[in-house]
Structure 1
Amino acid sequence: MAHINLLPWRVERRKQREREFFMQLGAAFVAAVLVVLVWSLWMDARINTQNDRNTYLQGEIKQLDERIAKIKDLEKVRESLLARKQIIEQLQANRSQMVHLFDELVKTIPASARLNGLKQTGDSMSLDGVAQSNASVAEYMRNIETSPWMGHADLRKTENTHGDSRLPYSFGLDVALNRPKAEEDSGSADEAKMPPPPVAKTPAERAQIETMVKALDAGSANSSKSPAERAKLGAMAKALEGAQTVPNPGAPAKSEVKPASATTAGGAK
């Protein structure tokens, strides 16, 4: 005999399918929540790692900034030391220049001219004085240009002041200073051997040295100059005062004056 199922099986199957659908939906939801949680944890880990890297890089950048600041300070100190070194080398190189210049001033100036003042600025020197005539000034300029320690001389002014009947012309010269090649090649060993101060041989030369000593004394007493410059001028004045009284054995007294006197006489004619 056949069995006949009279129960509502379609309703039961529909309910079973609904249960399976809701179970699958719940599993999918749980899986989605788990994926979102895992992704969130992974992104948080990456953000934390990047923050740690940023913190490390900021610390390294700060250290590099401090090192760069120290390097800049060291560069400034280095430039300052190099500047001092150059100044010291320049002073060392020009240590004997002033003595040679005063020696050349005594040798080059003719007897018919007299200096009233001089001023050195870097590699140039300004000379002011009086002369008997324009020919004496021209002779003085020629003598200056033949000097190994002085170069080209520019005439700044010349005028007849009628103030002194013997030396009526007032003149001003701008002289470029030179350094002989032999002195440049000799180095510090030759510069250490400074020549003695110029020796006054004749009354005319003694008068010239006395005039230069007065000019140096006036410069050393000038309050506008620095103490170092005043001390330097005072030392030069003392050296010239010593040269004025030092005898000159073994050298004729007329050898330095004859050429200037002869030239002056020719110029006066």
Structure 2
Amino acid sequence: MTIEINLLPWREEVRARRSKRFFLALGLMAVLGLGGGYGMTWHYEQQLEAQQQRNAHIQAQSRQLDTAILELSELEAIRERMLEQVQVFTDLQMGRAQTVHVFSDLVTSLVDGVHYTRLSREQGSLRLVGLAENNRQVSDQLRALAATDAFSVPMLSEVETGEDGQRRRFSLSMSQHMPAGDPGENAQEVP
């Protein structure tokens, strides 16, 4: 007698259990994959949001720095203008004493028979036009101007005989400088 064992239902049952376990594992893996993907997406979104906040903070600080730099450059421009004004005032103060000194030296060095018809001043240069009775007086006037502390050696540009034939019209130029120990220099230091 032979016993016949039909293993087909058992195999079907094992196969069904394996299929069930496979699909359960497949579903579990899909859920884990979707959960992991969602978790990674959330994590990256959080990092992106944090980076955007840092970027916004840096941009805000950069705008504040730009504003501060603009204010600083405006203040520097104001400072430069004020320094220029102070320099102008200083030059005017120095020039005031120097102008008095120049006129004083011009008057004290004036030779008899010579008089000035025109005086012009440009920066540190002085140009004189005058009349003299003869060439000797022109030469004496040049020596007298060279002997002063306020002027350099004068340069005679021209000497011509006037319309009356008697007087000599002369033109000369010289540079001016403040002599050492001038009271105008000390006046500036006093508050």
TM-score bracket for this pair, using the shorter chain length: 0.7 to 0.9
Identify the residue that residue 171 of structure 1 maps to in structure 2: 170
By how many angstroms is 1:125 displaced? 1.0
Maintained 8 Å contact 1:112/1:132: yes
Q: Are residues 184 and 5 of structure 1, via their aligned partners in 2, closer, same or farther at CA, if it must alter by over 3 Å? A: farther
Aligned counterpart, 1:76? 77
Structure 1 runs, 4 residues or longer, greater than 6 Å off: none
Larger radius of gyration: 2
Task: Please state how far the C-alpha of 1:139 moved relative to its aligned partner.
Answer: 2.1
Once residues 93 and 16 of structure 1 are traced to their aligned partners in structure 2, the CA distance between those partners, rounded to angstroms, is 112
Asked if the contact 1:183–1:190 (Cα under 8 Å) also holds between the matched residues in 2, the reply is no
What's the TM-score once normalised by structure 1's chain length? 0.64
Residues 59 and 186 (structure 1), Cα distance of their counterparts in 2 relative to 1, 3 Å cut: closer
For 1:186 and 1:133, locate their aligned partners in 2 and report how far apart those are by CA, in whole Å.
39
SS of corresponding position for 2:11: helix
How far residue 53 of structure 1 moved from its aligned partner, in angstroms, is 1.0
* Residue identity in the other structure for 1:83: E
Tell me the residue number matched to 1:181: 180
Matched, 1:39 2:48: no
Mapped contact 1:114–1:130 kept (Cα < 8 A): yes
What corresponds to 1:149 in structure 2? Answer: 150
Instruction: Give per-residue Cα distances to partners, 1:137-166, cap 9 Å, x unaligned.
Output: 2221221111011112122222234x1233
1:167-201 deviation per Cα after TM superposition (whole angstroms, max 9, x unaligned):
1x22111121111101169611799xxxxxxxxxx
Percent sequence identity is 26
CA distance in 2, matches of 1:12, 1:133: 148
What are structure 2's unaligned runs of at least 5 residues? Answer: none
Superposition TM-score, scaled by structure 2 size:
0.88
CA separation of 1:172 and 1:38: change in aligned 2, threshold 3 A: same
Partners of 2:130 and 2:184 in 1: how far apart?
34
Measured after TM superposition, the shift of residue 4 of structure 1 is 6.0
